[in-house]
Amino acid sequence: MAEPRISSIDGKLAEEFAVPSHVEEVKEKMAAFARNHAEAGRRVVLITSGGTKVPLESRTVRFLDNFSSGRRGAASAEYFIDSGYAVIFLHRHRSLYPYSRMFLTINMLDALQFRGEEGASSNTGEVVVNQQVLPNIAKVLKRYREVKDGELLLPIEFSTLSEYLHLLKAAAQALSTIGSKAMFYLAAAVSDFYIPASEMPEHKIQSSNGPLQLSMKMVPKMLSPLVKEWAPQAFVTSFKLETDATILLDKARRALDTYRHQAVVANVLDSRRGYVVVVTPETQAELILTDEDVKNEVEIEERIVSNLTSAHSKFITQQAV
């Protein structure tokens, strides 16, 4: 089936996906963030991260979820900031977050110690961090405070597919004002299927009605309007994840041909943390972590960001000619 025309996607968003009540407020906040950093000579990247939730009822009890921890997006945000970018972090509620991500598996109560008077019955005393349980916490906390004080990270949350789509459009329109200084790094795991709001039952689906049969529509592709209409001067990177390595590069190149954006980060499910290929219309770069890299705790996201920031610099130069 042919992809809907750009104009029809705006219509679909308005008619079939509930509009978040705060979308205009968030759009203004993103536009101000982008404008302020661009005026300071800084580039801005929008990172999407985590999975989207597709409700099956208006008053949602049941839903379909695209699982993603958000690890790649959260790690990449840190490396983009280290590379001089300001980051709008459009992320799934409770997915991994920059800087705090490395402490996710730690029970915080085990990492804190209470120091009070021995035998005292009151709760007076002080709480201190056990740095053996939280290694590098001082370094991470210091860097996080620098980022926060510099207003280099703007977090925006979503949960549902509808929220994600509307906020992505709002972000694209907000970043369009800074032209080629904007980059999109679309790492979120977005659902391919949805139930239009008009066709969704209001109340919880009853199991007493028997087996459940769902008829779902295809989610409209957002890359076309983003590249051609909403932010036509921006540098856009999409992600392609496959389980079959033999079709990966072909699908990445097909995406570039179809959407006419700047880069695809192609990876295979089983090796995605140590091997990716960054594909552009002119180049193909394999990024590989060696055993020594893994031993030294190098992350593949550092290599991805380094490759893309270099490509973005060349893109800006070409756009200025």
Q: What are 24's strand-pairing partners?
A: none
State yes or no: pLDDT of 35 exceeds 50: yes
Q: Is residue 259 scored above 50 in pLDDT? A: yes
Q: Which residues contact 208 (CB under 8 A, 6 or more apart)?
A: none
pLDDT at 2: 44
CA 11 to chain centre: 24
Statement: residue 321 has pLDDT above 80? no
Examine residue 71 and state whether it is found in any structural domain, yes or no.
yes
Q: Say what percent of the chain tops pLDDT 90.
A: 70
Mean pLDDT of 143-165: 97
Mean pLDDT estimate for the chain = 92
**Which pLDDT score is estimated for 120?**
58
Q: Is residue 39 a part of any domain in this protein? A: yes
Strand 63-65 with 86-92, pairing:
unpaired
How many residues are recorded in the chain? 321
Domain with residue 161: its CATH number is 3.40.50.10300
Strands 86-92, 153-158: parallel, antiparallel or unpaired by DSSP? Answer: parallel
Q: What is the pLDDT averaged over residues 90-104?
A: 94
Q: What percent of the chain has pLDDT over 70?
A: 95
d(CA 278, CA 91): 23
CA dihedral over 57, 11, 224, 301, signed as positive or negative:
negative
In a domain, 300, yes or no: no
Whether 1 shows a pLDDT value over 60: the answer reads no
- Asked whether residue 78 is domain-assigned, the answer is yes
Residue position matching structure tokens 């893994």: 294
Coil, helix or strand at residue 19 = coil
Q: Highest mean pLDDT range out of 154-163, 196-205, 242-251?
A: 154-163
- Range with the poorest average pLDDT among 60-69, 72-81, 93-102, 122-131: 122-131
CB atoms within 10 A of CB 61: 10
The answer to whether position 121 is within a domain reads no
290-311, pLDDT tens digit by residue? Answer: 999 999 999 999 999 999 999 9
Task: Average the pLDDT over 89-107 and give the result.
Answer: 94
Lowest mean pLDDT among 143-157, 176-190, 192-206, 242-256: 192-206
Instruction: Determine the 3-state secondary structure of 176 from DSSP.
Output: helix
Cα→Cα distances 236→226, 308, 317, Å: 9, 10, 16
Per-residue pLDDT, averaged over 85-112, amounts to: 94
Q: Report the C-alpha gap between 41 and 34 in whole angstroms.
A: 11
Identify each DSSP E strand in 188-262 by its residue range. Answer: 193-194, 217-218, 235-242
Please report whether residue 65 resides in a domain: yes
CA–chain centroid gap for 77, Å, is: 9
What was the pLDDT predicted at 121?
Answer: 59
Task: Among 40-54, 155-169, 205-219, 292-306, name the one with the lowest average pLDDT.
Answer: 205-219
pLDDT confidence band for 96 (50 / 70 / 90): very high
CA end-to-end distance (rounded Å), the chain: 38
Asked whether residue 30 carries a pLDDT value surpassing 90, the answer given is: yes
What number is the average pLDDT over the span 13-17?
A: 86
Q: What is the pLDDT of residue 3?
A: 45
pLDDT class of 59 with cuts at 50, 70, 90: confident
- Across 118-132, 178-192, 300-314, least confident range: 118-132
pLDDT at 135: 82
Q: Is residue 43 part of a domain?
A: yes
Rounded mean pLDDT, 52-72: 90
Total domains in the fold of the chain: 1
Answer whether residue 229 shows pLDDT above 50: yes
Mean pLDDT of all residues in 92-98 = 97
By residue range, what is the domain housing residue 175?
A: 6-103+127-203+214-239
More confident residue, 105 or 170: 170
Q: What's the average model confidence in pLDDT over 212-235?
A: 94
**For position 199, what pLDDT does the model report?**
85
CA dihedral 248, 250, 255, 257 (to 10 degrees): 160
Q: Looking at the DSSP assignment, which residues form a beta bridge with residue 115?
A: 126
For residue 157, is pLDDT > 60?
Answer: yes
